[in-house]
Chains A and B, each alone.
Chain A
């Protein structure tokens, strides 16, 4: 059972365009993280959101945690070729387990 659904799965856009990636679940998470993974490497953390409704900005990237802590979004403004990669959301459930759940991933390609 995939608890974290990401959309879209694939996205190919031109440099300068904006985009939003969504991470949705029917479960409540104590926190959600976004990672970026480049070919041949392990994922690298971009941000962690903890509080429902929280918004965090990292240069041109804006992350939001849903009010009910079941969903999150990543918005990129004026995408650049260097943003190309696989974006993964991940979280830990609130139910006392210490497992991590990862989303299915969004593969982004930004064309120059």
Chain B
């Protein structure tokens, strides 16, 4: 089954304790992305990657890191989480076209993170 998986689905942590949220896709997609969803703000892109070893900042990258060492995986790293990073996080993947840009993004089920 074609899918995007995220782990963990729920996480409660404390300020300053490093954490990683994993994301994996089995569709051989080039483009992968992380979003956070907050009430009234919609989805905001954190980082995206057009292919292995190619990443770039989205609209809200501060406090986050990513890496793309393999095509299927795109982990999100919070080196020193803070309470304002409490949010619902989604990973997504799609094929990638430089022109046209109309590829469907497939989303994971989400990770609800609480930072105390």
Contact = CB atoms under 8 A, between A and B. Distances in A.
Contacts of A43: 43, 90, 105, 107
B105 A45 contact: yes
Contact of A30 (B96, B100, B107): B100
Interface residues of B, number: 28
A20 B86 CA distance: 32
A42 B100 contact: no
Nearest to A29: B101
Interface of A: 2, 4, 6, 9, 30-31, 33, 40-45, 48, 50, 88, 90, 92, 98-105
Interface of B: 4, 31, 33, 35, 40-45, 48, 50, 56, 58-59, 90, 92, 96, 98, 100-102, 104-105, 107-110
